[in-house]
């Protein structure tokens, strides 16, 4: 008789994109997550799509005989192609009902790479957590680039930037109407501040620290107005 590893989480809501993205590692990681959920006997609760990273997570669960609950609005069921192998597929009237059901059916939440919709879903459950409207865990799966709680960990990392960070920064910059730098004093590490400014000619900031680096918004007033960085170019240090 095979024993199943115990997990206090019985159902995990996974937010992720309906596209695969430009890096095959995203696809591989999503499918591996599905394998792990099945192995732990944790039900997948997700957006119900059969394409993109959503489809990869669901396929990973299905390949290992796991449990799947898909929740998808009727108007998206054809565009995103509903995952018909789900044990439970719930069609909703709109996005609000979809998010409510996903929240109610889940013990915890995880986010993989995605677009604006994934970000919106993640921010919503994170906001509810901050406002003490629930106490369910919220997890962000950061596959690339270095993140650290303590600055010394970042400073000691061998490859903190990541191989594709600059590509995505440039793409986001080209699509944005306004780009605001707010990386704080450690932005000068390994010349990242100078390098990024060279890539983004019309970069803005909210306040300049004494170090010459743009201040983090956490420490600024809500009324702070973005300023073109070139206006303070001569006063900033890199």
| 141-199 confidence digits (pLDDT tens) | 544 466 666 778 878 888 878 777 787 778 778 877 778 888 888 888 888 888 888 88
Provide, rounded to the nearest whole percent, the portion of the chain with pLDDT above 70: 87
Average model confidence (pLDDT) for the chain? 83
Query: Per the domain annotation, does 148 fall within a domain?
Result: no
6 or 110, which is more confident: 110
| CATH number, position 18 | 3.40.50.450
pLDDT of 35 above 80: yes
Mean pLDDT of 82-90: 92
Tell me, yes or no, whether 97 and 33 share the same domain: yes
Structural element, H or E, at residue 26: helix 24-39
pTM: 0.60
pLDDT of residue 7: 57
Give the closest residue to 59 by CA, choosing from 74, 71, 73, 46.
46
Mean pLDDT of 101-110: 94
Of 140, 165, 197, the residue at which a domain comes to its end is: 140
Tell me, yes or no, whether 61 and 123 share the same domain: yes
| Residue-range definition of the domain harbouring residue 105 | 11-140
Q: How far is CA 95 from the centre of its chain?
A: 19
pLDDT of residue 163: 74
The domain total for the chain is 2
pLDDT of 72 above 60: yes
Mean pLDDT of 66-85: 89
Query: Per the domain annotation, does 43 fall within a domain?
Result: yes
Query: Per the domain annotation, does 146 fall within a domain?
Result: no
2 — pLDDT class (breaks 50, 70, 90)? very low
């Amino acid at each position: 008789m095979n024993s199943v590893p115990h997990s206090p989480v019985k159902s995990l809501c996974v937010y992720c994109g309906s596209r695969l993205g430009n890096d095959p590692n995203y696809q591989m990681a999503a499918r591996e997550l599905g394998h792990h959920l099945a192995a732990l006997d944790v039900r997948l609760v997700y957006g119900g799509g059969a394409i993109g990273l959503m489809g990869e997570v669901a396929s990973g669960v299905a390949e290992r005989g796991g449990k799947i609950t898909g929740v998808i609005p009727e108007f998206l069921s054809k565009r995103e192609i509903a995952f018909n192998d789900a044990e439970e597929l719930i069609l909703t009237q709109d996005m609000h009902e979809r998010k409510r059901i996903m929240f109610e059916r889940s013990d915890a939440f995880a986010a993989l790479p995605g677009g604006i919709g994934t970000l919106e879903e993640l921010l919503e459950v994170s906001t509810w957590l901050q406002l003490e409207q629930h106490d369910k865990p919220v997890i962000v799966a950061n596959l690339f680039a270095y993140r650290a709680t303590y600055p010394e960990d970042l400073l000691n990392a061998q490859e903190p930037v990541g191989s594709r960070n600059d590509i995505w920064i440039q793409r986001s910059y080209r699509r944005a109407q306004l780009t605001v730098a707010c990386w704080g004093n450690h932005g000068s590490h390994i010349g990242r501040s100078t390098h990024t400014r060279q890539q983004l000619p019309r970069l803005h900031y909210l306040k300049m620290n004494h170090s010459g680096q743009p201040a983090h918004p956490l420490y600024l007033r809500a009324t702070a107005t973005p300023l073109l960085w070139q206006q303070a170019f001569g006063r900033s240090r890199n």
